[in-house]
Each structure stands twice: as structure tokens, then as C-alpha cells.
Amino acid sequence: MDTELVIRAQRGDEEAFTSLAVAVGDRLHAVAHRILRDIDLAEDATQQALLNVWRDLPQLRDPARFDAWSYRLLVRACYAEARRTRSASNLRLLPADEPMGADGTSLVIDRDQLERGFRRLSIDHRAVVVLHHYLDLPLAEVAEALGVPEGTVRSRLHHAMRGLRAALDADARPARREGSQ
């Protein structure tokens, strides 16, 4: 991220913030969508996160750490959206705006299994998976972004991946049993 842009925005330069928002908006939205698994919630979370970025930008001590800081605000916005809609049950299992896999039925099954397994994870665990496996952030940077110790990130990732693996395996076992009968 252009730190000079961050500094200008910190000092209230709305034009600089516009450039900043354009530069990071897509990435934040992509992350929010992967954490929340819902396009509408992700849009709301991204919108709130960007507003919070503007509002709290003067609190950012080191402009060079803008990316990690913005992810933290985004994850907090995701928490808020998830809490706000906790009772809602309109999350789409396979969002219509996502392309289908190119390699046929097995991928669709994997995606379905993953979707279910992922939804069983807490936002804490989802955020670690997305930041590490989607953004390719090293665990130390994930820890910085989330404001937790690296050991906590490692533990969350372990439990999350174990949960996803269990989801994949659990859904696979009945299929195998059916095939053997």
C-alpha cells in the first residue's frame, strides 16, 4: 500500500481516501465474502469497514501497517454483521454469483461439504482460514491482523482445518457405504 496515500488520508484528505478505498475495496470485499459466505452481508461489512477505516485512520500508528490494520477492522465488521443476522437463515449454500467448478460432480460435492463445514466454524476460525489460505498471509501477519498471538492463530487454523477435513470425510463416508451395499 502507498504509505504516502495513507498518511494523506490520515490527515483528512478525502481524495487520498478515495484512492485508498478504490485500491483496497475489492480485496476487503473478497475477504468479507469468503468469511461471511453471503454477498449482501459481505457488502454491508465492507461498507462499514471502509467507513471505520476513514474514521479511525488517525489512530493507525504505523502507516506501513495499513493492510493488517484494515483486515482487523474488516474482520470486526464481519463479526458485527454475523451477530446482526445470527438468527437469519437466508444464507445461500451455493451463491448464484459463484461459478460452478469445472471438474464435475465431485467438486460440487466438495464445495457443498466445505460450505457446510465452513459455516459451522466461528468467525474467528473462518477469518484465520481466509487470511491464511486465501490471502496467503503468513501466520505472523494473520496474528498481527487479528490482534492475537501467533500461537492462537496456529491453534485456530488447526482446529478449523480439522473441522473442514471432518466435514469432507463425514460426508464422504455415507457415499462409500452406499456404494458398497
Contacts with other proteins by CB under 8 A lie at 3-4, 7, 10-14, 17-18, 21-22, 25-26, 28-30, 33-34, 39, 42-43, 46-47, 50-51, 54-64, 72-73, 76, 95, 97-99, 101, 110-111, 114, 129-130, 133-134, 147, 161, 164-165, 168-169, 172
Count the Cβ atoms, other than its own, within 10 Å of residue 110.
16
CB of 43 to other proteins, least distance (A): 5
Q: Cα–chain-centroid distance for residue 99? A: 19
CB of 174 to other proteins, least distance (A): 14
Q: Cα–chain-centroid distance for residue 22? A: 19
CB of 91 to other proteins, least distance (A): 14
CB of 87 to other proteins, least distance (A): 24
Question: What is the identity of the amino acid at 91?
Answer: L
Which of the 8 DSSP states describes residue 148? S
- What does 165-179 look like in DSSP terms, one character per residue? HHHHHHHHHHHHHHH
| 2: its cell numbers | 502507498
Length of the chain, in residues: 181
Separation CA 148–CA 132 (nearest Å): 14
